[in-house]
Each structure stands twice: as C-alpha cells, then as structure tokens.
Homo-oligomer: A and B are copies of this chain.
Amino acid sequence: MQVTICPERAIMEHVTSRWGVLVLQALSDGSSWRFSDLRRKLEVVSEKMLTQTLRTLERDGFVHREVKPVIPPHVEYTLTPLGKGAAGHLVALSSWIEANYPEVAQAQNRYDEA
C-alpha cells in the first residue's frame, strides 16, 4: 500500500485527529448536540479546539451545523449521512479495541516485564 501526502490523507487526519475521533463518536448516537453539551462530554477539550474541530468536520461535509432561531439562539450539531459513514468506521474500531483490550493489556504487561 502506498502512503502518500494527498488530499485524502488530510481527510484521514481530520477524522482520526484526537478531537475528530471523539466528536464523530459522540454524534454517532444520532441525536443533535449543542456546543456546550459536546464540550462537557469531551471533558478536557478547550473551546477553541472544539470550535476548530467542528468547523473542519463541517467543511468536510461530515457535520451539519444548524442555528436554532429561538431566544436565546443556539447552535446544534448533527452528523450528515456522509459523516455517519466516517463515524461508523471509528465506532467499529473503537468496539474492536474494547473487545480486544484484554489481549492488549497482556501484551503491555509482557513488554513492561521484559
């Protein structure tokens, strides 16, 4: 497999970025999220990093941003159909890691004892 620097690799970096992974996984529950709720969910993310991550994912067409015309107005984020496709792969990887974690922990113990 050829690993080259190309636009596709940039998208791979957006999707697998630290906060990209967590935002896509959080939104993959299918509901719409307010900025403040997402920020609470992700715990240690700064406002600036979350804004930047959401903007990148919106630009890539993975996240839909909607301003709700209520008083006071607020913004809600959901996955687009395209975003559901990307998020599905992250959720699958995450489930795989959870299922195989005991084997990983064993490997870590062997490594640390060697």
Give A contacts to B, CB under 8 Å: 1, 3, 5, 7-8, 11-13, 15-18, 21-22, 25-26, 28-29, 41-44, 58-62, 82, 85-86, 89-94, 96-98, 100-101, 103-108, 110-112
Interchain CA distance A58-B108 in the complex, whole Å: 8
Closest-CB distance, A95 to chain B (whole angstroms): 9
Task: Kindly identify which residue among B16, B41, B110 contacts A3, using a CB–CB cutoff of 8 Å.
Answer: B41
Given contacts A61-B108, A91-B1, A106-B61, contact A101 B11 (CB under 8 A): yes
Query: Is the CB–CB distance between B59 and A85 below 8 Å?
Result: no
Query: Is the CB–CB distance between A104 and B11 below 8 Å?
Result: yes
Interchain CA distance A58-B34 in the complex, whole Å: 39
12 CB contacts below 8 A, A to B, read A1-B25, A1-B26, A1-B28, A3-B26, A7-B101, A12-B97, A15-B97, A16-B16, A16-B18, A16-B21, A60-B108, A93-B93
